[in-house]
Amino acid sequence: AAGVIQSPRHLIKEKRETATLKCYPIPRHDTVYWYQQGPGQDPQFLISFYEKMQSDKGSIPDRFSAQQFSDYHSELNMSSLELGDSALYFCASSFSRGHEQYFGPGTRLTVT
Amino acid sequence: QQPVQSPQAVILREGEDAVINCSSSKALYSVHWYRQKHGEAPVFLMILLKGGEQKGHEKISASFNEKKQQSSLYLTASQLSYSGTYFCGTVSGGYQKVTFGIGTKLQVIP
């Protein structure tokens, strides 16, 4: 069965640089979620989209922005990167809101 | 507000049973359960919805007490593959924002 695809899988950036993470949801899933997970921590909800509109917002810094495109893929744009942004970033998708979420393999971002 | 999970860690021998609890101070719309192995993505185990509907893997069972805002995950006849960190995630109010607990580290040993 098709799963959530995230790219890139690993990313190394320097402080103050920008990064773009991409997420391709499971086919026919119209809802996408972004999470940030630090080492040994639980996933922290960042933002979600339903039918290409922002649906819910969590602890996403103002330096980050995201959108969902017409083909339902989503991109998380991160600017002015800080050392503290180093983490695993997961994208998840679900069939409509309120349903179970399926996580992608994650993008490991390292900021040096 | 983050749900509270207990225990924080547990070690089981193969074949033993375990219960992981999750409680929230907020009225809940749903409870999600995930298992995550080190360096991997969380894997969906179970979703329990207000009103009694639930969906998940056949070998996993869970309960949801809406009045007490509590959920429990039941792992029976544990196998080595059950090892990992179990997260409960709660949804209250909005449809989508899942707030995860700090996780329960479960290790199954031979």
Residue range B59-81, pLDDT digits in tens: 789 999 999 999 999 999 999 99
Three-state secondary structure call for residue B100: strand
Residues 6+ positions from B58 with CB-CB distance below 8 Å: none
Task: Judge whether A37 and A90 are in contact, CB under 8 Å.
Answer: yes
Pairs of CB atoms within 8 A across A/B: 58
Neighbours of B71 (CB within 10 A): 27
Three-state secondary structure call for residue B51: coil
Closest CA to A32 of A61, A2, A73: A73
For the segment B92-107, the average pLDDT, to the nearest whole number, is 86
Q: Calculate how close chain B gets to A14, using CA atoms only, in Å.
A: 23
| DSSP-assigned beta bridge partners for residue A91 | A34
> From the candidates B96, B99, B100, B102, which should be mutated to test the interface with A, based on the most A CB atoms within 10 A?
B96
A79-83, A102-106, B41-45, B46-50: least confident range: B46-50
Task: Supply the pLDDT for residue B50.
Answer: 83
Taking 90 as the threshold, does the pLDDT of residue B58 lie above it? no
Residue B51's pLDDT band, with cuts at 50, 70 and 90, is: confident
Q: Please tell me whether the peptide bond between B7 and the residue prior to it is cis, using omega within 30 degrees of 0.
A: yes
Task: Supply the pLDDT for residue B94.
Answer: 63
Taking 80 as the threshold, does the pLDDT of residue B95 lie above it? no
Q: By the CB < 8 Å criterion, does B102 face chain A?
A: yes
